[in-house]
Amino acid sequence: MRLTHNRLRSAAAVLTAAVAVAAALTTAVSAQAAAGCRVTYTVTSQWPGGFGANVDVTNLGDPLTGWRLTWSFTAGQVVGQVWNGTVTQSAGRVTVTNAAWNGSLGTGATAQFGFGGSWNNASNPAPTDFALNGVPCTGRPTPTTTAPPTSAPPTSAPPPTSAPPTSTPPPTSAPPASGALEQTRTVGRVRSVGNSAQYTWPGTYFEGRFRGTGVGIVLNDAQNDYAVQVDGATVATLVTPGQTTYWVRNLADADHTVRLVKRTESPWAVGEFGGLVAAPGGTILAKPAARSRQIEFIGDSWTAGYGNMSTTRDCSGNGGVTRNSNADATFGALTAQSLNADYQLIAWSGLGMVRNYNGGGTDNFRTYYETDLQALWNSTVWQNPGTWKPQLVVVGLGINDFSTALNAGERWTTPEQLAADFRTAYLGFLDKLRTRYGPNTFIVLTYPDLSNTPLAASVQQVVRTRTDAGDTRIRSLYYDDNALGLDKLGCDWHPSRRDDQLLAGALTRFIGTLPLNW
């Protein structure tokens, strides 16, 4: 397990300015498209010398195939890094143009981008002169204007040669969905940003359908690795693909399924999926139906798949931990897939219930459990859309709390003190899960072989305490290294791919003993 550094939370000074301007572009020659836009500018965090901001721009005019937003800073602010766009700045004048995947902006559609910037520590006023493709944003569209006719119109209209239709004929087919979350199905903790979806948790996956000989997958992620699967078979592994549309081609001209899954961890770096593109002659089909079974896996590096694809514990010579990690091959993913269940992997290597690996940091797993984008600067509480109602929650926390000896200066001086805090925090965490998911969800607390530590006894005591209080749907499961035959050949003595298969088998058998109504 690797130590993760402490999340820095700066005090957020939120400043929101919604300004709108609309103007009609006119000429003396022909009719022009209606134009207009609305902008919401939000300073999401601010600290000495720096700040972060989000910008939402809504197109109130006719559809655009590319956009350019301009504004002026009046207090010396300077834009630094931008995501979901490209920036140039001259003095106080800022221009942000669309990224490759978010240039299409239909009527009423919104694009979102964000940036980090610097300020003078005295004032940080919001801009007020936003313009979209040169049209000032005032929040209302201007009607189409038409040039005057070159000759007088006839005094009366000629009679029609045939009767007009009584109603508009229905379209022959529905237009294809354009947004990533309209095209594909996911149960992951994602955030919708324009037509794209952002995410950080490992194992987040998107499933879609298409007809034709190929499909393009729109991505913007220079941090993570992905697996691409078509009709149930992995066809590609994408290593830090960056900003791209990855194409799967030369398929049979038929209906297909496609699945994109994030293999790696990135608590401080967001991935972005921009949706699917059909190959010429093909079409994106309606997304698959949701599965009736749902499982939430909560844990640390074991659950996240830290180094599980390696065949040697020292990964310094075979690509490192990240290249050897695959959340889609973890025991959780394998268990869910064998049960035809949708799942979430809410896991973070190195974090514990009250103590992180080797005592590092002050934030622990409970700090981040409810977040949508983990430790990203603009992360917030994930808003369950109401469709995530797991019948089973599997928790695997405690290895990082107890696997290393206490250090001088930590708030516990004995393992017994640590164990007492661990049990108290665990009981409180289970209260949270019960509040979220209700009394009928089964909760299984798992723990591995961690000899000469209070982990096993503490987990068992937590289960007894809950059971004695009337919680009849809580269990514990011990992963016996020797009985299962784990080799722990993953990076840094973590479970290997073979181990994950063995753990999945043990967990699946145990789940089979539970009176689950699914």
> Which residues are designated catalytic?
301
Please spell the DSSP secondary structure of 148-194, one letter per residue: PPSSPPPSSPPPPSSPPPSSPPPPSSPPPP-SHHHHSB--S--EEET
Please spell the DSSP secondary structure of 307-338, one letter per residue: TTT-SSS--TTTTHHHHT--GGGSHHHHHHHH
8 Å CB contact between 232 and 170 = no
Give phi and psi for 15, each to the nearest 5.
-125, 120
- Alpha helices of 12-87 — where are they, by DSSP H? none
Q: Bin 221: left if φ > 0, else alpha if -120 < ψ < 50, else beta.
A: beta
Residue in this structure with the two tokens 């194992």, named with its chain if needed:
203
Please spell the DSSP secondary structure of 376-425, one letter per residue: STT--B----S----SEEEEE--HHHHSSPPPTTSS-SSHHHHHHHHHHH
- Give CA–CA dist 374/486, Å, rounded: 30
| Max CA pair span of the chain | 100
DSSP single-letter state for residue 8:
P
8 Å CB contact between 486 and 502 = yes
Q: What is the CB-side half-sphere exposure of residue 16 using CA atoms within 13 A?
A: 3
